[in-house]
Structure 1
Amino acid sequence: MAFPGLQHVAITVSDLKRSTDWYATLFGADPVLDEDEEGGEFHHTVFALDGGLLFGLHTHRGKETGERFDEHRTGLDHVGFAVGSHAELEQWAAKLDELGISHGGVKRAHYGSGVSFRDPDNIALEFFTAPE
């Protein structure tokens, strides 16, 4: 049996409205879901991305620590979004510039190239393409 691919990613955010607005601008789309989880433990706002991946923003009813994201803690290091080519990667870098989102520019490595940036909670994000 083959191991399944990713179906969704969910991140906890400190300010759901701020993050929803930020990600809607980044994704160029509105959320497809915005509701309380039926058990009342959390509220989630979910975006449907190309390829079938769902990207969720969670708030845990004020139980969040309020700390900014730090990839040096055990847990998530970053979320990488696949792009098809180096040219598309350059286009995304330009799009981040248009949106006023700070990034580290295109970085090349033998295993691929990426553009790293951060969301309002400092969560590390990346556009990435395999070597051509």
Structure 2
Amino acid sequence: MAFPGLQHVAITVSDLERSTRWYSRLFGADPVLDEDEEGGEYHHTVFALDGGTLFGLHTHLGRESGDRADEHRTGLDHISFGLSGTAELEQWRDRLDQLGIAHGGVKKAHYGTGISFRDPDNIALEFFIAPGT
């Protein structure tokens, strides 16, 4: 049996309004869902990405720690968005520049090529091309 792909990613943010604006600009789209969870545990704002993956922003109704994300702590290291080739990577580099989002430039390694950047809560994100793509 094949292991399934990711259906959605959900991250906790410190300021839902700020993060919703930031991710709306990055994705070039508005959320498809913005509501309190039925049990009242959290509020989520969800974006639909190409390919069917959902990307959710969660706020735990004032119970968040408020700490900035840090990949050196146990938990999430980064989220990577897959690209098809160098031309697309260069387009996203230019798009990040247009949006005023700081990034580390194009980095090449034997395991792939990518551009790393961070969201308002310091969550590490990247655009990535796998080798042979």
What TM bracket, shorter-length normalisation?
over 0.9
Q: Letter of the 1:81 partner, please give it.
A: F
Give the CA deviation at 1:131.
2.3
Measured in 1, the distance between the counterparts of 2:86 and 2:5 equals 23
Match of 1:5 in 2: 5
Q: How far does the alpha carbon of each residue in 1:37-56 deviate from its partner, in whole angstroms, 9 at most, with x for none?
A: 00000000000000000000
Structure 2: stretches of 5+ with no match in the other structure: none
Number of residue pairs the alignment of both structures matches: 132
1:16-31 alignment to 2 at 5 Å? 16-31=16-31
Which residue in the other structure is 2:110 paired with? 110
User: What SS class does the counterpart of residue 45 from structure 2 fall into?
Assistant: strand
Identity %: 79
**TM-score computed with the length of structure 2 as normaliser:** 0.98
The SS at the match of 2:95 is helix
Consecutive unaligned residues in structure 1, runs of 5 or more: none
Partner residue, 2:62: 62
Find the aligned partners of 1:52 and 1:10 in 2 and give their Cα distance.
Answer: 14
TM normalised by structure 1 equals 0.99
Correspondence for 2:126: 126
- Distance in 2, matches of 1:87 and 1:111, equals 18
1:102-132 alpha-carbon deviations (Å, 9 max, x no partner): 0000000011100000000000000000124
AA matched with 1:69: A
- Deviations along 1:67-116, whole A, 9 cap, x unmatched? 00000000100000001001111110110000000000000001110000
How do 1:27-66 and structure 2 match up within 5 A? 27-66=27-66
Does 1:96 pair with 2:90? no
